[in-house]
Structure 1
């Protein structure tokens, strides 16, 4: 799909003709992303909705420069700069894998850790985030919970004045109070500085007033491209004016769609209905002494 140059230049995040496969030389493995086209204006806050495996994380990782796409007429830009050849400054990516890194699970005091990544240069924002996320500077990184470690990650990632923020499920470990305070901070920060947020999540309660746009991905493509929120046809009210209800409706449709593909030959999920035991099942029954 061709996108005119004016629309491209006005977009803070711009993606055109993006297809990506983890195994490009294996035709039996479908691409993770198929013909993605995306334009997001400066200052927008977009929620990505989709089932597990829809391609949300892959898209965010490509935008973050963590995966390379080198074929075709793909065009991926942030702040009008090619993310593969001239990555722009001011972009922050926060994903779930950070908390599992052995380096950040070592015996280091949080205050020293934040200073080591430049916390002293962003003192006012760092201190504001320490209060919002309820972080103890005397914590030892190896001795805290996953949720507490996630809070430290967020302080680290957000204390600089980012222009574009890519969030991949990083609020999943937070309790509801801290998450609510964080979302209010992100919304205020976006509004005051014109910063842009693209946020993939599976937790939708408390999000109704956060996004400016909502998008729906299914099996590597957009079913609903980023659309201004709240939707115009829902403005008069009704049962589907909540983002949670919209997400639930979309995800149910995704499951029905996938099950229809399975009836046409796609690999089945769930329990196997074959009445004949597998060889492994027959083997292990010999050593089942629970009866």
Structure 2
């Protein structure tokens, strides 16, 4: 297996609900797994741990049969949304100079393929371009070096639909031809049906549905959960179930979300701001 996790648990702080609770999975080389889950389900935390960005004390996390913390495996690429907000990459630097500074000249053929695919202008200045254009530069930067395991955390969120589709087709070909493993957490499911080899469902820090074949194989026993649904409809149904489950938990003591319509005593902040409200 390319990625193996056994009984992984993680909490951001003491005395809080765990972000991950005894998560286990195994991904073979060449697989492309899409993780479905609502905000706060634990998807980003899982990917960050796989990338070695968060140290854990409970559970075994291995990539290419190497401990990601004690024997860091080569060939692992992590791409997340926070890159575009880094002040370093928002400075006044020409894109061509930026790519050369991070070693683009070492992967010229692959770099140029991505520049064309993502429609990047080498004369862009990083401080003047849009978030979507900056995201395209990030993808060139992150993908130009061949990887064995690619961890994607909502990294297509700023892309227009055409560039996103071209990118996903490139990643699919890359996975098929080189046997690279891709783990992709996203909330954008339209046009994604053809991409994954398997899908997984995370909720409340748990892996509710482990990586499962996609598209579903023929036969009633294998189609029992998915039927002939699209990935979008499966994701929508899972998220609805998660929301209903959370509301049941709230009835049994979990902190409630939403407006507090039953409160008769104003909060401290309401009292304070009313006192200094001069709009009336």
Q: Taking structure 2 as the reference length, what is the TM-score of the superposition?
A: 0.95
Q: Distance in 2 between matches of 1:143 and 1:217?
A: 37
Which residue of the partner structure matches residue 271 of structure 2?
Answer: 282
Tell me if 1:175 matches 2:182: no
Q: Number of residue pairs matched?
A: 275
Matches within 5 A, 1:73-112: 74-112=59-97
Aligned mate of 1:68, from 52, 55, 58? 55
Aligned mate of 2:12, from 22, 28, 42? 22
**Offset of residue 235 of structure 1:** 5.7
State the secondary structure of the residue aligned to 1:142.
Answer: coil
Q: Distance in 2 between matches of 1:203 and 1:240?
A: 19
Q: Specify every segment of 5 or more residues in structure 1 that has no aligned partner in the other structure, as ranges.
A: 1-10
State the secondary structure of the residue aligned to 1:16.
Answer: strand
- Contact 1:22–1:32 (8 Å) recurs in 2: yes
Matches within 5 A, 1:105-124: 105-124=90-109
Which residue of the partner structure matches residue 255 of structure 1?
Answer: 243
- Contact 1:235–1:241 (8 Å) recurs in 2: no
**Offset of residue 175 of structure 1:** 0.4
Q: Distance in 2 between matches of 1:100 and 1:62?
A: 21
Aligned mate of 2:134, from 149, 153, 158? 149
**Offset of residue 240 of structure 1:** 5.1
Q: Distance in 2 between matches of 1:113 and 1:187?
A: 27
Tell me if 1:271 matches 2:256: no
RMSD over aligned CA atoms reads 1.5
Q: Distance in 2 between matches of 1:13 and 1:239?
A: 28
Q: Distance in 2 between matches of 1:283 and 1:167?
A: 43
**Offset of residue 149 of structure 1:** 0.4
Q: Distance in 2 between matches of 1:248 and 1:203?
A: 11
State the secondary structure of the residue aligned to 2:159.
Answer: coil
Which residue of the partner structure matches residue 214 of structure 1?
Answer: 199
Which residue of the partner structure matches residue 6 of structure 1?
Answer: none
- Contact 1:240–1:246 (8 Å) recurs in 2: no
**Offset of residue 75 of structure 1:** 1.1
Runs (4 or more) in structure 1 with deviation over 4 Å come to: 233-236
Which residue of the partner structure matches residue 180 of structure 2?
Answer: 195
Q: Specify every segment of 5 or more residues in structure 2 that has no aligned partner in the other structure, as ranges.
A: none
